[in-house]
Amino acid sequence: MSTSRAVPVTLAEIARLAGVGRAAVSNWRRRHPSFPERIAGTDANPQFSLTDIEGWLRDNKKLNKSAEREWLWPGFEALGGRDETGAAIAEVGRLLSGRVSDEGEEIRPDTRELIERAVDLGQREGGTETFAFLLRRWLDVHVRQIATTPAPLASLMAQLALRAAGGAAGDSPGSSGGTTVMDPACGPGHLLLAGAEAARASGAEALTLLGSDRDAVLASLADSRIALAESEGHREKEWAQVAVRAADSLRDDPFSGTPTDIVLCNPPFNERDWGYEELATDARWSHGLPPRTEPELAWVQHCLAQLRPGGAAVLVLPPAVAARKAGRRIRGSLLRTGQLRAVVALPPGCAAPHSVSLHLWVLRMPAHGEGTPVSDRLLVADAASRFPRDPEEKWTPDWAAISAFVREAVEETDSPQAATYARQVPVIELLNDEVDLTPGRHIAPSPADTAPRLTESWREFTGLTANVNKSARLLAALDLATAAADTPTATTVGELARAGALTLRGGQQPPEESIHAGPPSDDGIPLLTVPDLLVDGEPRSWLAPGTAAVGEAVIAEPGDIVVVGVARAFSAWVHEGPPTALGPQLHAVRVQPEQLDAWFLAGSLRAPANARQAGTHTTNSSRIDVRRLQIRQVPLGEQRRYGEAFRELTAFERLLRRAADLGTSLVRDLGDELAAGRLAHQA
């Protein structure tokens, strides 16, 4: 690789490129005088020239040829901003698909060289795979700016739309010839490709794919992605038309008047500047002008306006759209006309934003000859209640189970789960002052479902109380001296660090572009922050493994002590979970086991009096100077004796918290059952 600019790479990136650990790279740097000099950064976090590193690895027979795609990414990442890198990746896809580029004069020579290298690799190892790799890396870097639809969710949406389009009209669109699929806010094309795959599977002979996005880079990426799929994956069947435009669909629809069979859309959320003033008299608002605060209902009506008679649309929407007072008039009109056919609540974590239960809205335009309204019922399905998140465990969506449940609910099968968590609600019940379409409001758990859950909850609660009693007996039996004992000499964390008995590392804020929201991937590194601790203590974001952010992060390993450096969340505990990156004001302490007992140290540090001693001032927002926290100096054997007591105290605290949560749930469920009159009569 030779480019006119030096592409910087960190030690962590070199380790990933070479297929080794970071420690091995540090060892090479120390042992080999020929190892390249750093071109930027600091001695602690150096950066090196990618070209120099590649040459050194090749000369020393350490080049990992199996990771050739990995060598591409640093060059693309160094091109500049988000748009420059995205445009270069789009050009790679365009060339790999066989299209003639129309941007050659606008591309810098060094960028053109990098693009040609990627195209050459794609032609040797697979164009689709190479483009997908670059696109995935680009989306990972900009995950906070670009919300994409996960592939399993996109596939489910496409299946729901095809079924709804078949509906009362008979056959699905794909069974009788061509099918037109549209996404008016297509992003990088996830939903368009899912719609194409579902239509192919249903028998469509010719596909027309229409997409638009106001972000020109995203539109370009979607266009290249679809063209590449057409050239490599669908040679046996002709695509009737592919058109992706860079346009704001609400303000300037590039496909106005084009009848469409299927519309799939994951529109922007909560945008106030969506065109309220200039679109006040637009003909698309057949259910009424959307209020300024209801942009999602503008997208709903826009998607409906694209449909041919008998066509269907599926949208991902935030849950507030189903209940906000400002949108009740439009929701009521959608119900009265029968165009809104189903609302499905997904479990939190299925798509961004991961903290809320997003909804799927299924809509259908009546076919010619159908009465209006075509249905006097709305299907509501509550997958959020069917697949609850266990706060004690790491949770990722079980897409196979979620998709099966939603399909069973929509198809009104005899599945017990679908019968319990889904219901056809008469529209007349919904047309009240609220017109609240939230599925959970209209689905009452059945006795057959509640009884097993209560039985399981009581079983767990009984076990918890037994463990609480056991732990309480052990703690109550501790022989605490009543007389004042001689106070041993105290030392501080700072003094122990200087003596080499422990190491203290302060967490830091990773670059925003490196943070992924939601549950971590299987190999992702959870990122714990003080705001997480103030909510429920569970990390709400993560870092991708092997990235520069991970290489520079402070990682708490099992057995380390985590100390919170702010008074309002002050605590200290022995970390027992997976390796976790620490954010600002969190500190990782690693002890020398031949000098310090970790449980003794953690228990000593978290004493409230200790925090007051080390606080910078008296408010609960003050910072704690962790280096000033005090520990009694006692022999190691004595530390271990106290450490066992601290460990038991920690276990007791966890049991009490879980028992409190479970007890609250039991009170709620039993209250519902008693209020419903389900107490059995005495004989």
The per-residue pLDDT for 445 is 67
Helix/strand/coil (H/E/C) assignment for every residue in 200-249: HHCCCCEEEEEEEECCHHHHHHHHHHHHHHHHHHCCCCCEEEEEEEECCC
Say what angle helices 216-233 and 127-141 make with each other, to 10 degrees: 160
Locate 573 and state its tokens: 């505990």
- DSSP class of residue 512 equals G
Residue type, 49: S
Global confidence as pTM: 0.73
The per-residue pLDDT for 242 is 87
Three-state secondary-structure class, residue 252: coil
Question: Which has the closest alpha carbon to 184: 29, 314, 343?
Answer: 314
Sheet (strand 541-543) strand order: 515-517, 541-543, 525-528, 580-582, 555-556
The per-residue pLDDT for 274 is 93
Alpha-carbon span 299 to 260, nearest angstrom: 15
Residues in the chain with pLDDT < 70? 1-6, 44, 64-67, 100-105, 167-177, 232-240, 371-374, 390-395, 445-449, 482-487, 513, 518-523, 546-548, 614-621, 681-683
DSSP string, 434-472: S----GGGT-PPPHHHHHHHHHHHHHHHHHHHHHHHHHH
Residue that has been written with the tokens 């078949």 in this structure: 166
Strand partners, 615: 624
Residues 6 or more apart from 101 whose CB is under 8 A from it? 91, 94, 95
The per-residue pLDDT for 170 is 39
- The CB-side HSE value for 538 (13 A sphere, CA atoms) comes to 14
- For 467-515, write each residue's pLDDT tens digit: 999 999 999 998 887 655 566 788 999 999 999 999 999 998 888 767 8
Alpha-carbon span 119 to 134, nearest angstrom: 11
Question: Which has the closest alpha carbon to 171: 338, 6, 310, 59?
Answer: 310
The per-residue pLDDT for 638 is 92
Distances (CA, A) of 126 to 228, 237, 297, 505: 11, 20, 41, 44
- For 594-647, write each residue's pLDDT tens digit: 999 999 999 999 887 787 776 655 444 578 889 989 999 999 999 999 999 999
The per-residue pLDDT for 169 is 37
Residue type, 530: V
